[in-house]
């Protein structure tokens, strides 16, 4: 089945291949073949291609920037022509369900497609497919007016439907365009190999160390850096790494302490309040002779190599961004620590690697391959920046905000690039292989869908911006600085004080967007909104926008993404499961019935628990040291759905939890 992980790859056979560098035999999986070509995934998650020497076409010098090669006006690819064809083929309404889907859906994030490229929030496409097949059992034209990374497009193409993805951010459009492309697996792997081959010497120059066990040269996988900090009491400076670590019985119990005594005066210090000085490397990791990952302090040679790079980085001029960082909710923290331009988000070593890698990608002649390799490049996102917080257990450094950690992980750019290329290959070999239907990606505001006629779309599925939860235009600046085009946030539906947008502005922009959705959707057809926010006022603003546009909410249920976020585990006031609002455009434009009952949120919660049947949901914390407890996040989602349909007053998550705890305690 598509979307699944290892078991879904068509494994042809396993072959032994001699690793010339290490002088050892590795068993490699052949995961695709085409004629005499064989595509091979190495044990480490890197790519090799054993094929006849058919070179990948390259320009002598980099040509037109990639975004300009794949984007014409606001349309990506041949989108304008494809849109005309799509609209012509869908000139009559598709059959749609007459009643809303009664049950929610559950879909996990741990799939090849979901893992292929990061984004701030994504709806698992296998869950979207369920709704598409229910509401459009015979196919139709699908629209996502807030397309994000393109998961609605992935789902529609897998289901054999045509889809229009509208999105304000050029970076998100770029991601969505590539997520929904069909590319030859063999050509993709050959292009990866070709680009990396050009940078072999640079890779050795930047990431070579000596194995402490056998003395041979080996590749650095990552380097850990720590800031020097100053005690506010005795004013002495010390290296944070040396004094804030605590080791447990296993790696999951190792911790970077948030509070610890000053090594000089003994006063208890809060890490978050310490002033920072310079950052310096403290440890590096590699694999060599025994294939076990080793960690060691840097040698004199390692430090000398880094000093030389810092002094003379030899960047590929013109192929790395120097974008100035303006004020912003998520941008002010890095600016306070001296990150006032995008290039300062990187160590000099990684910036050198990235600039030359970006230059080589631009040399690819084939625009689709160049775009897909740039897709691998953008998938690195925060992982290769100074924003990637060190974790003893590893894992991704990509989060939906910018934060400069006290101790950060400098990942090897080339190793990370290979690993992400392998992830994207998995997606191409599984999900993308099954694409049917056509797609159009449009970089455009959802408040003005002027390229779509009235009553032309059969189904809308979208996850609009969640109030103030994620500042998309700010977070996308890292991608957009490399791509060379930035979001016009004038019509960005968000609560953001720096942009001068409060709840009223958010509601107005959502109303404008949903009014356009109402205009282009066919009468009697459905719009599904995926949404979650811990603020009752944001929920009421969304509900007001939905009703003002003319939609009738007929069902609200849960979209369970199965894995909670880290923020949900550590923050008591973070809401949980997303809700799906099933809204219908009436066949006639008669007056909408408004609920007569306007209960207070306290009475609404009491009524919800009186009418709720079944056992209470329970949260089991697998990765956090906490005892199981009532799942108030799921209960909050259930209550919001209950209250919205009845027109009750809504409250934020913290108020709901306090009230719910009192009710649950009184239950026998």
HEC profile of 59-112? CCCCCCCHHHHHEECCEECCHHHHHHHHHHHCCCCCCCCCCCCCCCEECCCCCH
Q: How confident is the model at residue 594, as a pLDDT?
A: 55
Nearest alpha-carbon partner for 460 in 212, 179, 94: 94
Q: Are 371 and 76 in contact, with CB atoms under 8 Å apart?
A: no
Question: Are 58 and 86 in a shared domain?
Answer: no
Residue, of 53 and 94, whose pLDDT is higher: 94
Q: What pLDDT does 291 receive?
A: 84
Instruction: State mean pLDDT over 71-90.
Output: 96
Q: What are the pLDDT digits (tens) for 103-157? A: 777 666 668 898 899 999 889 999 999 999 999 999 999 999 999 999 999 999 9
Residue 615 has pLDDT above 90, yes or no: no
Is the Cβ–Cβ distance between 117 and 378 less than 8 Å? yes
Same domain, 32 and 106: no
Task: Say if residue 399 is in the same domain as residue 444.
Answer: no
Question: Rounded to an integer, what distance in angstroms lies between the CA atom of residue 241 and that of residue 366?
Answer: 46
Same-domain status, 145 and 254: no
Residue 114 falls within a domain, yes or no?
Answer: yes
Is residue 199 domain-resident?
Answer: no
Residue 567: pLDDT over 50: no
Please indicate, yes or no, whether residues 522 and 448 belong to a single structural domain of this protein.
yes
In-domain check, residue 520: yes
Q: Given 593, 625, 651, which residue is the final one in a domain?
A: 593
**C-alpha dihedral, 115 to 409 to 381 to 436, nearest 10°:** -10
Span 84-110, average pLDDT: 88
Which pLDDT score, from 0 to 100, does residue 590 have? 55
Segment among 82-86, 199-203, 447-451, 646-650 with least mean pLDDT: 646-650
pLDDT tens digits, one per residue of 46-55 = 555 444 457 8
- Pick the last residue of a domain from 63, 82, 110: 63
| Enclosing domain of residue 22 | 6-63
Query: What are the tens digits of pLDDT across the range 398-456?
Result: 677 899 999 999 999 999 999 999 999 999 999 999 999 999 999 999 999 999 999 99
Rounded Cα–Cα distance for residues 443 and 168 (Å):
5
Asked which of 15, 33, 63 is the last residue of a domain, the reply is 63
Number of domains in the chain: 4
Answer yes or no: do 478 and 610 share one domain.
no
Please check the confidence at residue 33 and state whether its pLDDT lies above 50. no
DSSP state of 240: G
Q: Are residues 445 and 580 in the same domain?
A: yes
pLDDT greater than 90 at residue 652:
yes
Instruction: Report yes or no on 190 lying in a domain.
Output: no
Residue 468: is its pLDDT beyond 60? yes
54 vs 248, residue with greater confidence: 248
Read off the CATH number of the domain in which 130 is found. Answer: 3.40.50.150
Query: Domain check: are 566 and 449 in the same one?
Result: yes
Mean pLDDT of 254-266: 94
Residue 360 forms part of a structural domain: no
pLDDT at 614 exceeding the cut of 90: no
Q: Compute the average pLDDT of residues 627-633.
A: 76
Widest distance between CA atoms in the chain: 81
DSSP string, 263-295: TTT--EEEGGGPEEEEEEEEEEEE--TTS--EE
328/449 same-domain check: no
Residue 193 belongs to a domain = no
In this structure, the chain runs to a length of 668
Shared-domain flag, residues 231 and 271: yes
The answer as to whether 427 is a domain residue is no
Q: Shortest CA distance to 482 belongs to which of 205, 175, 232? A: 175
pLDDT band at 27 (very low <50, low <70, confident <90, very high): very low
Average pLDDT over the chain, rounded to an integer = 87
pLDDT tens readout for residues 180-226: 999 999 999 999 999 999 999 999 999 999 999 999 999 999 999 99
Do 334 and 240 lie in one domain? The reply is yes
Same domain, 479 and 343: no
Give domain status of residue 612, yes or no: yes
């Amino acid at each position: 089945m598509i979307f699944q992980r290892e078991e879904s790859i068509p494994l042809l056979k396993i072959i032994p291949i001699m690793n010339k560098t290490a002088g050892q035999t590795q068993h490699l999986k052949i995961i695709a073949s085409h004629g005499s070509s064989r595509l091979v995934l190495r044990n480490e998650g890197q790519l090799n291609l054993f094929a006849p020497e058919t070179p990948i076409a390259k320009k002598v010098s980099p040509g037109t920037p990639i975004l300009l090669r794949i984007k014409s006006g606001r349309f990506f690819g041949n989108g304008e022509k494809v849109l005309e064809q799509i609209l012509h083929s869908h000139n009559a309404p598709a059959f749609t369900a007459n009643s809303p889907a009664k049950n929610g859906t559950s879909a996990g994030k741990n799939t090849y497609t979901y893992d292929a490229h990061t984004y701030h929030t994504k709806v698992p496409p296998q869950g979207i497919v369920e709704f598409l097949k229910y509401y459009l059992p015979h196919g139709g034209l699908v629209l996502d007016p807030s397309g994000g990374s393109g998961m609605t497009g992935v789902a529609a193409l897998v289901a054999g439907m045509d889809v229009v993805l509208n999105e304000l951010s050029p970076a998100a459009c770029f991601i969505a365009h590539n997520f929904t492309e069909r590319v030859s697996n063999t050509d993709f792997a050959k292009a990866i190999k070709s680009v990396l081959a050009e940078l072999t010497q640079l890779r050795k120059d930047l990431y070579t160390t000596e194995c402490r066990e056998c003395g041979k040269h080996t590749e650095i996988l990552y380097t850990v850096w720590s800031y020097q900090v100053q005690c506010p009491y005795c004013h002495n400076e010390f290296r944070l790494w040396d004094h804030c670590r605590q080791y447990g019985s296993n790696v999951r119990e190792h911790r970077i302490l948030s509070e610890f005594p000053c090594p000089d005066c003994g006063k208890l210090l809060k890490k978050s309040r310490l002033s920072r000085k310079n950052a310096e490397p403290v440890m590096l990791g590699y694999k060599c002779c025994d294939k076990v990952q080793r960690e060691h302090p840097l040698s004199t040679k390692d430090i000398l190599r880094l000093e030389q790079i810092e002094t003379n980085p030899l960047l590929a001029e013109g192929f790395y961004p120097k974008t100035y960082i303006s004020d912003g909710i998520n941008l002010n923290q890095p600016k306070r620590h001296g990150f006032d331009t995008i290039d300062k988000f990187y160590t000099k070593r990684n910036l050198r690697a990235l600039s030359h890698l970006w230059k080589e990608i631009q040399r690819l002649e084939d625009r689709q391959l160049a775009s897909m390799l740039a897709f691998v490049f953008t998938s690195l996102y925060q992982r290769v920046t100074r924003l990637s917080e060190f974790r003893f257990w590893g894992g991704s450094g990509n989060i939906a905000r910018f934060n400069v950690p006290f101790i950060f992980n400098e990942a090897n750019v080339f190793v990370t690039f290979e690993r992400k290329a392998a992830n994207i290959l998995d997606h191409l070999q599984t999900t993308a292989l099954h694409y049917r239907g056509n797609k159009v990606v449009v970089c455009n505001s959802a408040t003005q869908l002027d390229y779509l006629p009235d009553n032309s779309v059969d189904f809308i599925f979208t996850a609009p911006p969640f109030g103030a939860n994620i500042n998309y235009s700010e977070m996308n600046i890292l991608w957009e600085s490399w791509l060379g085009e930035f979001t016009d946030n004038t019509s960005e539906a968000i609560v953001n004080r720096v942009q001068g947008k409060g709840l009223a502005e958010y509601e107005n922009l959502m109303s404008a967007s949903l009014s356009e959705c109402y205009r282009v959707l066919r009468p009697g057809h459905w719009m599904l909104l995926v949404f979650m926010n811990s603020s009752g006022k944001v929920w009421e603003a969304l509900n007001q926008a939905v009703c003002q546009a003319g939609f009738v909410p007929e069902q609200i249920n849960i979209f369970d993404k199965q894995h909670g976020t880290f923020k949900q585990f550590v923050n008591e006031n973070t809401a949980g499961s997303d809700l799906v609002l099933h809204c219908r455009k009436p066949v006639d434009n008669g007056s909408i019935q408004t609920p007569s009952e306007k209960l207070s949120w306290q009475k609404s919660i009491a009524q919800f628990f009186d009418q709720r049947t079944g056992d209470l949901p329970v949260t089991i914390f697998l990765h956090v040291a906490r005892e199981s407890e009532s799942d108030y996040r799921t209960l909050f989602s259930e209550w919001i759905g209950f209250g919205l349909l009845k027109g009750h007053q809504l409250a934020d998550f913290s108020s709901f939890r306090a009230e719910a705890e009192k009710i649950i305690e009184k239950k026998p």
